[in-house]
Structure 1
Amino acid sequence: MNENVYVPFLSKIQKVIRHTSIEYTFRMEYHGNVKPGQFFEVSMPKYGEAPISVSGIGEGYVDLTIRRVGKVTHEIFEKYEGNSLFLRGPYGNGFEVSDYAGGELVIVAGGTGVSPVRGVISHFGNHPEEHDGMTLIAGFKSDDDILFSMDFETWKKQMNVILTVDKGEPSPDRQVGLVTSFIPQLELKDVASAKAIVVGPPAMMRFSTAALLERGFREENIWISQERKMCCGLGKCGHCRINDKYVCLDGPVFPYTVGKNLLD
């Protein structure tokens, strides 16, 4: 008998890590294959489901970074270590780290967009022999909105990190300004072969990809992750359909050559 892909499984909360007043990472028990950029449907009986990107992968667990913004996520925040949540997944097309190996890599992430690409950043940070130079540009609204502070301290030792906030006073720890303002300053050995990943709010991705193209990046060397309300995760409900693509199946990770045409 085939396993029912609609039926969630129970996962124990191994650890809860607080980042901001409304954003926490829940380390969930999980044994199986999963890629950065994929997502799980997290459910609470009587409250519903919410798609949450994978923000970390380890032996026997996945990290899910959750923002307290709605009915389901509000209820999830009432659950803590030792309790359990229901999960379905993983779903979607994630990041293939092999696509970015061998050359220079630039990752531009805004706000919670750091979550789905965190696994890629950590992979190449821990395997410098797999790239020929790496830059991370990560932007947040303010100091209070910065996620994964401990990771950034590690990443600064492993790669070129530009951590920035939209507004505020200058600080030795981070820059001030939009992520797009730092793209023209990128120092690259060979921009024609360099690869880039852009993840964040739609406007930020639009202007960031435009800046990368102006800097000389080739369209086929840019990847994006499309934010969308993915209700079923299986391409059946149609909520995430854009043109002929289902974000939950064909994405959320797309080559820019495909993603640039996904407009409502």
Structure 2
Amino acid sequence: AIGSEYHWYRNRSGIVVLISTLNGKTSVASYYTQKGDLWWAQIIPRDLYGDFGSPINTTQITISNTAPQILYYHWGRTEYRTDNDLTFNYDFFDYDTGDEEQGFLTRWYRNGTYLPEYDNNVSILAQNTAKGEIWFVEISVSDGELYSPWFGLPNITIRNKPPSAALIELLPLTPSTSENLYATWNYLDIDNDTEQLARVRWFKNTALQSNLDDSDVVSSAYTTKNEIWYYTLEVFDGENYSIIYSSSAITILNTPPTLDNVTFSSINLGTTDTLEVRGSSMMEMEIL
């Protein structure tokens, strides 16, 4: 009633206190309360003539537990590929002073389908994911009495993992000027993507040979004795290139000279004749 007086009392851990700052208030803000408190109001009615009646106490109410919340929940990475475990992070929050996290629940979804076999997992191993899949997780936390509402992380799509290469070689290891050079490697792809045209760059004495781009063979016609050759490689799966690999450097060696049409000076020789061998032509790959 208009003019009536209101007094609020709180019993916390057996200690009853009049909360004088609430005198005259008809409601109590939540920051005054704690879980387990007993609260009641004493009302002294007053009529239009200013006369007060006898005080009346309301029924006592107990402040019950408030369910916890999750703050700042997010995936563990900004992008996931097929070799990344799915993980997430969050901050536990509880309005009730002293309450701490006492457990959690999770529900995982792949391409919109609920996967009960992963219930309450904190992560999904990379081996259980595949490129192009869309994953989603819901989280609920407990303070030991109540669970929070479900909080859902945004959908994430598993991205392509770039391929890699191994056993990168430049063959032969000791080439001569008469031998072609060959770039060889092993292609590796965790997504089982088919190898596409690799990016190959050849270097002669550190200078890029752009006319040989993307070729895995260098004809001997392009090489000369004492040149130093190597190549760089980026393998390609049709979507992403690998990191840049570099082969070992090799030095072009001299090609030994050869003799053609070797003959004897005569086929009818006696025991007193000198035996002489002749080559009709001599060939050498390099000019010394």
Which bin holds the TM-score, normalised by the shorter protein? under 0.3
Structure richer in strand, relative to its length:
2
- Bigger radius of gyration, 1 or 2? 2
Query: Would you tell me which structure has more helix in proportion to its own residues?
Result: 1
- The TM-score with structure 1 as length reference comes to 0.17
Higher relative contact order (CA 8 A, sep 6+): 1
